[in-house]
Amino acid sequence: MSLVVMKFGGTSVEDPAAIGRTAAIVAGRVAQGKKPVVVVSAMAKVTDQLLRAAAAAAAGDRTGALAISSRLRSRHRDTACVLVKNPADSVALQTLIDQKFDSLDEILRGLSAILELTPRISDLIVSFGERISSRMVAAAFRERSIDAAHLDARDIIVTDSQFQRAAPLDAIIEKRALEHLQPHITAGRVPVLGGFIASNEAGVTTTLGRGGSDFTGALLGSALSADAIEIWTDVDGIMTADPRVCPDALRVKVISFEEAAELAYFGAKVLHPATILPAVKKNIPVYVLNSRNAACEGTRITSLAPPCGSPFKSIAVKRKLSIIDVVASRMLMTTRLHERHLHHLRQSQMPCRYGLHQRSLCLAFRRFQR
């Protein structure tokens, strides 16, 4: 029976209707005889709000931080209330949501006293988004007769200690996935986990960087040698351009791992740049699909894509980017000039492109900030 890792992004779990659609899609896979493992993001915009709460607390605005948390608590409680009707499950879920927000509030209060937001605390704060959404989605699945088992992704996705963009430790993840997930899969249950969140070897919460739930999906797909990885989002697949920028963009039906990785790296937000790597390792096809239009066949990312008639398959957009070409009209001392500029650019960590023609340097500033 084929195993499929299905990752649902923030818009696919943004409200009760979206979670209902997600449940129907997963139930559809089960009905096809597939074994899904489900990874979910935080509800849309929740990670941004949590980061805002953290920043407010660290700036001493305790009231502002707690107000954001209170709005998030209400949003989650209201969603859970609509999703889960069974009285016992509903009470259990509301209690759990309250417990999570009580601990978040405690952290925010502490932060507003300490006034220092470290990457480690930031990861702990944002982790609440996926920790709560995954619980809600698992409960909503059970309410809809999907035999779901919630698992804490931090017990499986183990990383180094680079908070906010931690690197996965593949061998440990593989071992933990087999230990924690496989028994549920074998028993016919649907494991549900939060994406993006992880922990280091000491058990301290880390995250895989913004948009990292795609990466969680791919890491689990690779660890379990899945037959497919599905990335469910709010567009029909990888398009010829970001449909928010170019509304008449067309769907790309098939794309190679290499092309998709390049697009993701250069800013096509539809995929986290690291998503492709674990899939390539095991040659697992990745599908990008629309949870609002599940009938659309989406984009298939595979090792070999057929040749394309157009010279461009898709165009990525990166905003707020400065490209700097350095030009000097005189040859004298150009090497030192070159080194000085490069040193400066490295310090500023500004993305840069520089042209070096023989021994002269090009200087041109082009700003694409819109």
Using CB under 6 A, list all residues that contact ligand ASP: 9-10, 41-42, 47, 129, 195-196, 210-213
CB 110, min distance to ligand ADP, A:
30
> Closer CB to ligand ADP, residue 142 or residue 300?
300
**Distance (Å, whole) CA 34 – CA 37:** 10
CB 213, min distance to ligand ASP, A:
3
DSSP assigned state of 310: S
Assess 10 for contact with ligand ADP (CB under 6 A): yes
Which of 268, 274, 289, 305 touches ligand ADP (CB under 6 A)? 268
CB 48, min distance to ligand ASP, A:
7
**Distance (Å, whole) CA 267 – CA 249:** 16
Residue 286: φ, ψ to 5°: -115, 135
DSSP assigned state of 276: H
**Distance (Å, whole) CA 220 – CA 6:** 10
> Closer CB to Mg ion, residue 144 or residue 210?
210
Q: Measuring CA to CA, which residue among 44, 53, 33 is closest to residue 11?
A: 44
- CB within 8 Å of 361: residues ≥ 6 apart: 326, 327, 328, 334, 337, 338, 341, 354, 355
Using CB distances below 5 to 8 A depending on partner kind, what does residue 191 bind out of ligand ASP, ligand ADP, Mg ion, none? none
> Closer CB to ligand ADP, residue 65 or residue 132?
132
> Closer CB to ligand ASP, residue 181 or residue 274?
274
Using CB distances below 5 to 8 A depending on partner kind, what does residue 11 bind out of ligand ASP, ligand ADP, Mg ion, none? ligand ADP
Using CB distances below 5 to 8 A depending on partner kind, what does residue 268 bind out of ligand ASP, Mg ion, ligand ADP, none? ligand ADP
Site for ligand ADP in 205-244 (CB under 6 A): 211, 233-235, 238-239, 241-244
Using CB distances below 5 to 8 A depending on partner kind, what does residue 275 bind out of ligand ASP, ligand ADP, Mg ion, none? none
Q: Strand 158-159 and strand 197-200: pairing?
A: parallel
CB 210, min distance to ligand ASP, A:
4
> Closer CB to ligand ASP, residue 36 or residue 129?
129
CB 198, min distance to ligand ADP, A:
17
Helix or strand or coil: residue 193? strand
Q: Measuring CA to CA, which residue among 221, 197, 199 is closest to residue 209?
A: 197
Which of 136, 314, 326, 361 touches ligand ADP (CB under 6 A)? 314
Which of 3, 4, 6, 9 touches ligand ADP (CB under 6 A)? 9
CB 42, min distance to ligand ASP, A:
4
Helix or strand or coil: residue 273? coil
Q: Using CB positions, name the residue nearest to ligand ADP.
A: 9
> Closer CB to ligand ASP, residue 232 or residue 324?
232
CB atoms within 10 A of CB 50: 23
The label of the residue with tokens 């070096």 reads 356
**Distance (Å, whole) CA 177 – CA 138:** 18
Please list the residues that pair with 286 across neighbouring strands: 229, 301
Site for Mg ion in 202-241 (CB under 5 A): 211
Using CB distances below 5 to 8 A depending on partner kind, what does residue 234 bind out of ligand ADP, ligand ASP, Mg ion, none? ligand ADP
**Distance (Å, whole) CA 289 – CA 285:** 13
CB atoms within 10 A of CB 136: 25
**Distance (Å, whole) CA 53 – CA 233:** 26
> Closer CB to Mg ion, residue 26 or residue 264?
264
Handedness of CA 10, 11, 17, 23 (dihedral sign): negative
Please list the residues that pair with 240 across neighbouring strands: none
Name the residues that contact ligand ADP, by CB under 6 A. 9-12, 41, 211, 233-235, 238-239, 241-244, 268-270, 314
Name the residues that contact Mg ion, by CB under 5 A. 9, 211
